[in-house]
Chain A
């Protein structure tokens, strides 16, 4: 028996909107630790890793580990029917073939339940080792989204370079080139507007902007985004989910020839 009650149901709505276009089907894993998902896009270039820790739920019951295969597009459709202030409860029976999403309005005057069929998914799980990253950039998530969107109007790929001077986002296309440099900025009034660059070694990597733009659909989840870079490693773009966990996107770099 599984029963997860999330007072801030909008978090789950936002998570689904962030990942549904990147991954079609995925297994949600439920354990004492929390509600999690790891899935790759169909071309095995990008990976989504979600964790919602059990402590973040108002009620969390998971009698035994359960893996539930879901079509993320269909799950997103159902969660879209929840109000932004609704409390969302996810329910499933051990060995059952469906999952129920229950939506309660804040004053309990509307209660809806949506039942969705589960599916069998053969998913490959990748082991992601803890790594020391050569450069970690923390910046406003809206700024990161703006940069990716702007650069994708010029080119298909972005070169992200971190040096002592700052972080540079560059692209090149048929009409010309673009370079955007952000310097460290901790002197802002609000911490969510800061840009913080931690660099061990200068690093420069190339990525497909199509994927970066897809990741930025998670912007409503967090005011800041963390971009972790190391040569020879996929970049990690992380959105923290308040008090609960994270949504991380891994993207394999392109090889310059």
Chain B
């Protein structure tokens, strides 16, 4: 089983 990360977990909004 695996779940999908979202980009905001790594990159912060500017």
Contact = CB atoms under 8 A, between A and B. Distances in A.
Interface of A: 40, 43-47, 124-129, 157, 206, 208, 232-234, 250, 252-257
A45 B3 contact: no
Interface of B: 1-14
B13 A253 contact: no
A126 B13 contact: yes
Nearest to B3: A255
B5 A255 contact: yes
Contacts, number: 59
Contacts of A128: 11
A257 B5 CA distance: 12
Contacts of B8: 44, 126
Contacts of B3: 254-255, 257
A68 B9 CA distance: 28
Contact of B5 (A47, A127, A252): A252
Nearest to A253: B5
Given A234-B7, A250-B7, A127 B2 contact: no
Contacts of A256: 1-2
Given A234-B10, A252-B9, 12 more contacts: A40-B7, A43-B4, A46-B7, A125-B14, A126-B7, A126-B14, A206-B2, A232-B10, A253-B5, A254-B2, A256-B1, A256-B2
B7 to A, nearest CB: 5
Contacts of B2: 157, 206, 254-257
Nearest to B13: A124
A40 B11 CA distance: 12
A252 B13 contact: no
A129 B12 CA distance: 9
9 contacts: A45-B5, A46-B7, A125-B13, A126-B14, A127-B12, A127-B13, A234-B10, A252-B4, A252-B6
Nearest to A250: B7
Contacts of B5: 45, 234, 252-255
A45 B4 contact: yes
B11 A126 contact: yes
Nearest to A156: B2
A50 B14 CA distance: 17
B7 A47 contact: yes
A116 B10 CA distance: 35
Contacts of B1: 256-257
